[in-house]
Amino acid sequence: MRRDFVYHIYNVEYDKFLDLLSKCSEDKRMVVPEGFNTSLYWHLGHVLRVTEFIVFDLAAQPTTLPQKYHELFFYGTKATEWNAEQLAQLPDWDTMIAQIKEQREHLYNTFKDRLDESVPENFKKAENFGELILTAAAHLSNHNGVVAAMLQVMKQK
C-alpha cells in the first residue's frame, strides 16, 4: 500500500510536468517570460538534476547524469546567466525528455522494494528512500506551478 502511494504521488507530478512541457512550442522553450528569470528549458534540466540529487545523491546511490548538468541546472543557476561556453554544452530538448523518462524507470527499478530502507543523514531529514521520493515529488509540484504560470504568460503575449 505504501509503495503504491509513494509512486502514485510521484507519478502524478511527473506526468503533469511532462504534459505541461508538451504544451510549449519549440520556439518558446528558451524564452524567459516577463516576470521570470529562467526558461522552460532550464526547468526541464533543473528537475532532472535536482531529482537525481534528492533521490540518488542523498541516498548514496549511483547517478547517471553528466556533470555538466550540475553546472547548468543546479540550485543557483539561471538560463539568463549562461555564457557562450555553457550555451554550446546544452543538451537538446529531446535528449533531456528521454533522460527524464529513463530517470523515472531507474528510480522505480532502484527503489521498488526498498522504500523503507534507511538513508544516510541528510539536510532534508529524510529517513528512508520513500521520503526522498516524496521530496522529489514535492519539488516537481513546485515546478509544475511555475511552468504552468510561465506557459500562461507566454500564451498571453
Q: What angle do CA 36, 147, 19 make, to 5 degrees?
A: 160
What confidence score (pLDDT) does residue 3 get?
A: 83
The pLDDT of residue 1 is above 70: no
Q: What is the pTM of this model?
A: 0.94
| d(C-alpha 131, C-alpha 129), whole Å | 5
| Alpha carbon 65 to chain centroid, angstroms | 12
DSSP E strands, 36-143: none
Is residue 124's pLDDT more than 80?
yes
Supply the pLDDT for residue 86: 94
All cell numbers assigned to 72? 547548468
Instruction: Please state the separation of Cα 63 from the chain's center in Å.
Output: 14
In percent, the amount of the chain with pLDDT more than 70 equals 99
Angle between the N-to-C axes of helices 93-111 and 2-22, in degrees from 0 to 180, rounded to the nearest 10: 180
pLDDT digits (tens, 9 = 90+) for 87-111: 999 999 999 999 999 999 999 999 9
Indicate the pLDDT class of residue 38, thresholds 50, 70 and 90: very high
Is pLDDT above 90 for 157?
no
Q: Tell me the fold of 2-156.
A: Four Helix Bundle (Hemerythrin (Met), subunit A) (1.20.120)
